[in-house]
């Protein structure tokens, strides 16, 4: 009986120790999703300087990484968290948490925070991301995307690249090169955000029954839907 109480005490102690960290991580993920919604909303409100609507109309997936950190001293690097949603049957899915990491070598110094948006044309890249670490440029072509409505007429919006990338830094919005950066699903963040241990990105994208969807996730879907031409 004494051993039983010892095990119960250890279990309760672990719960007391782990739950605050779990809730804190979920809160962090919630802030990431909310920030992604704000970034997308702010960019799309300026038609002449944002994503061409035609890109969203034909896109299979969209990733938004708010506050991607670029830092370095000679050897540089990038790190950021964000969200990824896909579109099936004309509807955008719940967002999955993702991470992006990459490095570069060159004469650089300092740090900079940049908002990044990736537009995926087909399911091919999304499937590769959900199956493991995905390297931009190596497993699918990435190009700096055209900016503004005027770009639709002047640019080949039939999109020969698989992925189109954008960045916003210091108020400027433009295409950005991200070749070599690794993009992957953040399973731990998803489990904490959706309060569902072991939840998969496939289940999140499928909006399966029993999945509790946070308000920030629903808001992100609404922003995407609002700015996607029918």
Q: Write down the pLDDT at residue 162.
A: 85
pLDDT, mean over the chain: 75
Task: Please state which of the ranges 80-84, 101-105, 147-151, 154-158 shows the lowest mean pLDDT.
Answer: 154-158
- 76 within 8 A of 70, measured Cβ to Cβ: yes
pTM of the entire predicted model: 0.78
Terminal Cα-to-Cα distance of the chain (whole angstroms) = 66
**Nearest by Cα to 70 from 162, 212, 145, 170:** 170
Per residue in 4-54, pLDDT (tens digit) is 333 333 333 433 333 344 334 457 899 999 999 999 998 888 766 677 877
Three-state DSSP class for 223?
helix
């Amino acid at each position: 009986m004494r051993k039983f109480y010892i095990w119960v005490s250890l279990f309760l102690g672990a719960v007391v120790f782990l739950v605050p960290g779990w809730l804190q991580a979920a809160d962090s993920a919630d802030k990431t999703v909310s920030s992604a919604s704000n970034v997308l909303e702010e960019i799309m409100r300026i038609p002449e300087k944002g994503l061409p609507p035609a890109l969203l109309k034909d896109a299979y997936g969209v990733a938004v990484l708010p506050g991607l950190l670029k830092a370095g001293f000679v050897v540089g690097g990038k790190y950021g968290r964000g969200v990824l949603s896909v579109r099936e049957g004309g509807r955008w899915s719940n967002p999955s948490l993702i991470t992006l990491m990459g490095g570069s070598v060159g004469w650089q110094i300092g740090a900079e925070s940049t908002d990044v948006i990736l537009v995926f044309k087909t399911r091919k890249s999304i499937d590769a991301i959900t199956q493991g670490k995905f390297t931009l440029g190596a497993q699918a072509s990435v190009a700096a995307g055209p900016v503004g409505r005027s770009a639709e007429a002047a640019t080949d919006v039939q999109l020969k690249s698989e992925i189109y990338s954008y960045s916003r830094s210091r108020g400027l919005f433009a295409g950005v090169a991200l070749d070599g950066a690794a993009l992957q699903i953040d399973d731990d963040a998803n489990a904490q955000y959706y309060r569902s241990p072991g939840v998969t990105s496939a289940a999140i994208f499928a909006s399966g029954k029993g999945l509790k969807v946070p308000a920030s996730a629903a808001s992100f879907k609404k922003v995407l839907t609002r700015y996607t031409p029918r």
